[in-house]
Structure 1
């Protein structure tokens, strides 16, 4: 599954893969896996087993050092071999991205209070950024933030509504992103600030859990109302008014992490579809010997290989410190669309069995379909890439 890997990453990935395949996969039929994700009881049980196996939070080493992004790709692809795998070994969204962000810009006190429980697998987190479309709130365009944070003495007071907040139900740690110039100072430029909060909190009310196409993330995706939430300066994550910059620090690697995890899931779906095609007979021969089916599996192998090359290349560039938003967008578009094609073909190869829940293929298809929207729809990323093409082209013309 890997183009490049270090001995350290290879050893960790091997243990993670063995754990996911032998311990986690049997839980995929557990009744505690609901439409809004695995229950808290199941999460605790899986993480207890991961801790005992020495594979909990495998991308963060003892002492707090992270694997490189390229090494992380090796490990996260293995954790994704089951939709429950990232939850079990603590590499799932949004926790993985939140751990990265707090680790990069949090203070020592914030890391002790908010980060340590996440790394230990004793807590889950939520990232409160997106808002209801009906209210004109922020989605793919974070500059549309409606949630406000205003100064009141030595406190900040936060008010607003958030939507599609993954894992809010049951989370212990929250990162709330709010517009911190409210127009009171005459500044029309939108700026944002991030705040760390303990959850649950009486000023943060879950209005409902959305019924969505995916079902792998604990707590599902919530609509949340924030009313009169008061936080002190020591809960500001990073510097005030720098939230948009920090969002990019988090989101670019997080998009890539999604690609890593879902590459593992579609690899597993492809394995199941291939086994089915190599054992199921129709019209006097195995399905794989029918050109239409065999070609679909060949196309899967090509898409998986190309997606892996894109993931590993972007991870290496990110390790070098030069991954831009355009490259991150390219990876999100190329990998999400390729993996969706793989999942779709797996369903098609397996026919009626593919759309049933007798195997995990049906769930992988649903999860990958959602991935093409989460962390920015394909079309938004293409628009971002097109803008860069325009800038680079006009700059070249003017400089000629």
Structure 2
């Protein structure tokens, strides 16, 4: 007999999973355990005895394995794959075996049309490119023609130079005509040893501007300028030192200011009568120098040896800003005279607090 409290527990939904519905195989910790053993034996029999029938014929089994694995193994190297797609990729990449798939007529026609469309697209791109280049060429030709017309009009209207361009070093006398013989004689001079290294910089003229003749290591009988009545000898040279400041990047976000003083030489051409052309370059002018590096031998007074000195041989000198020292000195003199003429200012009667306090103490 089952007690009343166990019946109550069986009816309760909370204890539903703990008690079986069938009272025959019911077991309790206080009751005997044969019911549990019976249920375990029945479940194991169902689990282990319910199996599928095996194939006892070995030939049928081998044929089945062949059918299932024929498309999965590679016929070249015997490698196994899980799908025919992987096998196809493997044969294409490793063994260069291109397997032609069975395509329909519609797919073949679509592929052919795609190839034709691509060809037409490439031809269209080429045509568009040619049209663009031709348009650009026409625009350039039109711009060049307009520039020529404007330049001709300016030359015909006025002979004044363009104010936007920087003025070159202004000659005080008319310039000379440089012939091929003069240029060859300049190239044959012993003073000019060009290194073919281009140099262009903007700097300020430091120190006095020297104008003279190079006489060191120069044969006296060598005519540098083949002119009528011109004296044979070394060429006339304009020489000055140029202070060039430049910013060089040291590291990320850091700049280094470099200051170099370069010796600049300008070989002056001569006029027909033999007198050289003088140029107005003064100390303090801001110049743009364009030329080549050159090596010159100079005599060192300390070591008593010939030393190679780097000099820049200028081709073009442009004056960016000229320093008018004469006008500045005159203006300073006028200012000083005006200051002297002014009357002396009269001191105000206001006194500070400290002075007032001292006066009171003295009165007391």
- TM-score category by the smaller chain? under 0.3
Higher fraction of helix: 1
Higher fraction of strand: 2
Larger radius of gyration: 2
- So what's the TM-score if we normalise by structure 1? 0.19
